[in-house]
Structure 1
Amino acid sequence: MHNSVYAPSLVDNKNESYFSYESMNKSIFTRLTIKESGLLQRFIMYEWDTEWKILYSLPHDLCDNYGQCGANTICKANRNPICKCLKGFAAPSEGELDIQNWSGSENCARKSPLCQGKEGFLKIAWVKLPDLKFRLNKSLTLKECETECLNNCSCSAYANLKVTGEGNVCLLWFGDLVDLREQYEGIRGEDIYIRVPASELQGSKKKWLKRILLGVSVPTVFGIFIFAVIFRISWKRKNRIRKENRKEKLDVPLFDLDAIVKATNNFSPANRIGEGGFGPVYKVNMGYSRNS
């Protein structure tokens, strides 16, 4: 959880692995309580105060209940139903991702076994990581963690845990993914990469494009088309005019001073026909040849 009261840290040694929480402010005391119903509450009290105040309570919603949804599902408290099979998995009864009469407590199964073809990883952001059957490695980068998982046919997902705030902590899951949930605002979330067939990744790109196309109304598409046509015509017209102007400039004849003096009869006042912004204007003898 992101706050100014305490910071989480990871304890991992030969005998045990667990999270601990260290106070970030010596003037604040915290304590945890858990009731018979399973309600967990964290209290805080300032050193100058005499009453404990509730910082948070769990479960915050139904998704905080352990195993609220079956294995290989994700729990999203803001949707109905709150349980949904992960991409690449299906509920056993119908083989579909969304089933209205599915209770959500059933486990979802992979549509196809691992290591049966080309595979990749689907990123799911800002979640509470699943429990059970995972292995921790403190020396692997995110990319190395992906390679390690892909080389093991039992590895179903991986993540790079950043709770320690330093170094790389690679987590690898084997078998079913249990108790995965989308985190709510104010609670720390991690990114997890679920192993799926390459076809599932390609399908997600096609669906993404389809959503964009479906989200654009027919009048909007027609308007964009008309704008594109007008823009194309305007661009071609301007380009043609630009080329014609350039050609006209190249066709302008050039005369030296001697030729101009002869053509205007030495700038005779009789040949002066007016005056412009750059000086007097003279008529020339059109019968004069440049080569004469």
Structure 2
Amino acid sequence: MASTELLLLMAMAIHGGSTAWCFASDTISASSPISGDRTVVSRGGKFELGFFSPAGGGGSNYYVGIWYKKVVSQRTPVWVANRAAPVADPASSRLAVAADGNLVLTNEAGKLVWSSNISSASSSNGAAAVAVILDTGNLELRRESGEVLWQSVEHPTDTWLPGVRLGMNKITGEVQGLVSWKNAGDPAPGMFTLGIDPNGSSQYSTKWNRTVTFWSSGEWKDGVFAGIPEMISHDKYDFEFVSGKNASYFTYSLQDPTVISRLVLDVSGQVRQIMWSPSADEWMIIWTEPHRLCDVYAVCGPFGVCNGKSEPYCSCPAGFRPSSAGDWELGDHSHGCRRNNPPRCDDGGVNSSSLVHGDGDGDGDAFLPAPGVSLPRNSSSAQASSARDCELACLRSCNCTAYSYGSQCSVWYGGLLNLEDTGGMDDDLYLRVSAMDVPSSRGRKRTAVFVAIAAVASILALSIIVFGVVSVGVMGLAHSF
């Protein structure tokens, strides 16, 4: 007992004789940082903040994130601080409140890798700042007086939590939107974004590469977005869209506070409203947009073929392979497919005028069919009176990567996007490859010869066996007489 009291007295002396040394388990401060395995947990135990390594990331990169603490058995990050700047050693990295009042993350070398970056943080008469994790999943940086300096919900990553406002500040023009992870093992900003229309309408849209819009929610009308009819049939949520003088935003809440639900912009580019099912111990999808995965722009990357009914949903056509096999396995198909062997144009071996059609016997370029694959958009027309003329027209240009001949000659240039395996009987698409990737006609002839010889040999062997059996039978019959 005496030893315990002595330890308490020593601790109080070290911290100036006050009880300020005892920090709440939900708070980060200058003298109570996050490092190693230490975490902070919201007061009601719903959310936890600390260092983590994504399940598919190989365990070499670590991030500071917020995830569900209660009920959800799978560690599911809903926010990541240093999503583009991982640290290698969480034990020697620190998340703390700096002297200027900012929340900062330093790595194992003491280098700053992430900051709340609030310029006014230190301009409050020296009042200390602390960071507190709340039961809403929000991380607040605030003064001891309660003044909020910065909060994580205003800087979302790929997840939209209930109660969070997602919209636009009309004064500053700043849009708060979601950005997908790069892949399942890397929370770095990916190819897809979701945000409100900056031109002032009530629509939300998803974009590829921050330029191409491929899905829109439709205008807000009668309590739902026109393009999301599923909102009508689900009575577990309350929705609200606000358009005021200073801001426009959308928010939603759960009628049952015990239900766990979130909206996430998946690495595939789909927007998914999902709910945790305790009985199944997994996330259950409520609705997705776009409905069809293959309607996501460039979902399988250049030359990648989408099939929403298969798993995995992306594949490479004959003569091609994934450009990045590691990213492909983690759900990042943005790099698409590349040829097994580069065409001669890519090798710089010859110019376009000297290219000849290859059938696998030479070193030129050739074409392989992609049966059942829909024709890409943005085709160009070429003068041709036959399929062979169309093929030659494409072959003459190093930039031509595919052709199809139906009612006319259509050719395509560059990497082909939005290829889909429809299993239909569309005009055949032919993709340019190295002649090395086309089955050799000589090889086919040799195979045919080998098959013919084997067939003849089999017939001769069978004939000899039959002849032998008959001969033995005749001799036996003659002997019996």
TM range (shorter): 0.3 to 0.5
TM-score, length of structure 1 as denominator length: 0.45
Q: Which has the higher contact order (CA 8 A, sep 6+)?
A: 1
Question: With structure 2 as the length reference, what TM-score do the two structures score?
Answer: 0.29
Bigger helix share: 1
